[in-house]
């Protein structure tokens, strides 16, 4: 059994280790290690197209993760006030949003956005006073909306689990002391759930930053970092791509590690 488990982990992580190793290759051949060098990291960071794609990914990830954290927390707080049957239905819907394959979400979002644009653009053209009415289309907004909706379900499940572990005692005690609902949330509830909210934000940021499938369907003319990498490897894998993959891997692992630390329950002290 140990040998089998070791073989599985080797199969999963050996290719990732090779990508990291060959990102330090001194030669141009990504499959032949000729010496140690960090020049490909400098070339990757000096590539204007890559930097532009990185900026797009950062803007999209930060915006979608922020929206997901805000609305996911609001949804989690609202669900706690529902009846058990209604809450169970919403739990199932949020869980379904997480397990649905990305390609399905991408296609469904693309179809929905095309229908919305085909309805809204003629309306804008009819009410706009000038000759050049604004045209809704795929771009930043469509990617942020797609990533934000998916990530919102993730944040809601994380924050909801934290709220369920708190119980109603502290909220009722705050009410007994004549605190308003807003004051109770700001001084009592929010400090307790803030680590979970931050963890959901970081996980949402990681998902949005690394996502290729959903963004590929709804990006339009915008190029995110995963889309740039996919377009580059179609012309052949170079150590520059390995360097980009290594940087993304390190950043993602750091985000996940921080989220894991924030989600860890603190042991009560005597």
Would you state the pLDDT for residue 80? 79
Listed in sequence order, the DSSP H helices in 80-139 are 84-99, 102-127
CA angle 220, 226, 232 (to 5 degrees): 95
Q: How far apart are CA 213 and CA 3, in angstroms?
A: 34
Contact 73, 65 (CB under 8 A): no
Would you state the pLDDT for residue 31? 67
Which SS3 state, helix, strand or coil, does residue 47 take?
A: coil
Would you state the pLDDT for residue 30? 64
Which positions ≥6 away from 138 have C-beta within 8 Å?
110, 113, 218, 219, 220, 221, 222
Would you state the pLDDT for residue 174? 76
Placement of tokens 């390995």 in the chain: 242
Q: How far apart are CA 242 and CA 239, in angstroms?
A: 5
Which SS3 state, helix, strand or coil, does residue 189 take?
A: helix
Q: How far apart are CA 68 and CA 45, in angstroms?
A: 29
Would you state the pLDDT for residue 267? 46
Low-confidence ranges of the chain (pLDDT < 70): 30-31, 167-168, 176, 262-270
Domains plus CATH for the chain?
A: 53-263 (1.10.3720.10)
**Torsion on CA atoms 164, 167, 171, 177, rounded to nearest 10:** -170
Would you state the pLDDT for residue 270? 42
Distances (CA, A) of 146 to 104, 116, 122, 165, 265: 12, 14, 23, 30, 31
Would you state the pLDDT for residue 78? 85
CA angle 31, 34, 36 (to 5 degrees): 110
Q: What is the DSSP letter of 34?
A: -
């Amino acid at each position: 059994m140990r040998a089998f488990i070791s073989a599985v982990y080797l199969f999963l992580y050996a290719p990732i280790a090779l990508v990291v190793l060959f990102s330090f290759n001194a030669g141009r051949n990504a499959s032949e290690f000729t010496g140690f060098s960090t020049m490909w990291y400098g070339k990757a960071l000096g590539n204007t197209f890559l930097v532009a794609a990185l900026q797009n990914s950062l803007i999209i990830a930060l915006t979608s993760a922020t929206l997901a954290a805000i609305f996911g927390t609001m949804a989690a707080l609202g669900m706690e006030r529902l009846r058990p049957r209604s809450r169970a239905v919403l739990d199932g819907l949020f869980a379904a949003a997480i397990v649905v394959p990305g390609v399905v979400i991408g296609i469904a979002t693309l179809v929905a956005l095309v229908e919305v644009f085909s309805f809204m653009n003629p309306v804008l053209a009819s009410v706009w006073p000038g000759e050049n009415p604004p045209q809704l289309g795929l771009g930043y907004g469509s990617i942020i909306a797609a990533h934000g909706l998916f990530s919102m379900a993730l944040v809601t499940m994380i924050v909801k689990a934290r709220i369920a572990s708190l119980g109603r005692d502290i909220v009722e005690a705050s009410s007994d002391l004549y605190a308003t609902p807003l004051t109770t949330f700001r001084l009592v509830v929010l400090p307790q759930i803030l680590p979970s909210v931050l963890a959901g934000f970081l996980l949402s940021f990681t998902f949005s930053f690394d996502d290729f499938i959903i963004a590929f369907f709804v990006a339009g003319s915008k190029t995110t970092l995963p889309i740039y990498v996919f377009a580059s490897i179609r012309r052949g894998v170079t150590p520059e791509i390995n360097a980009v993959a290594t940087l993304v891997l390190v950043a993602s692992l750091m985000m996940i590690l921080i989220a894991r630390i924030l989600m860890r329950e603190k042991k009560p002290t005597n």
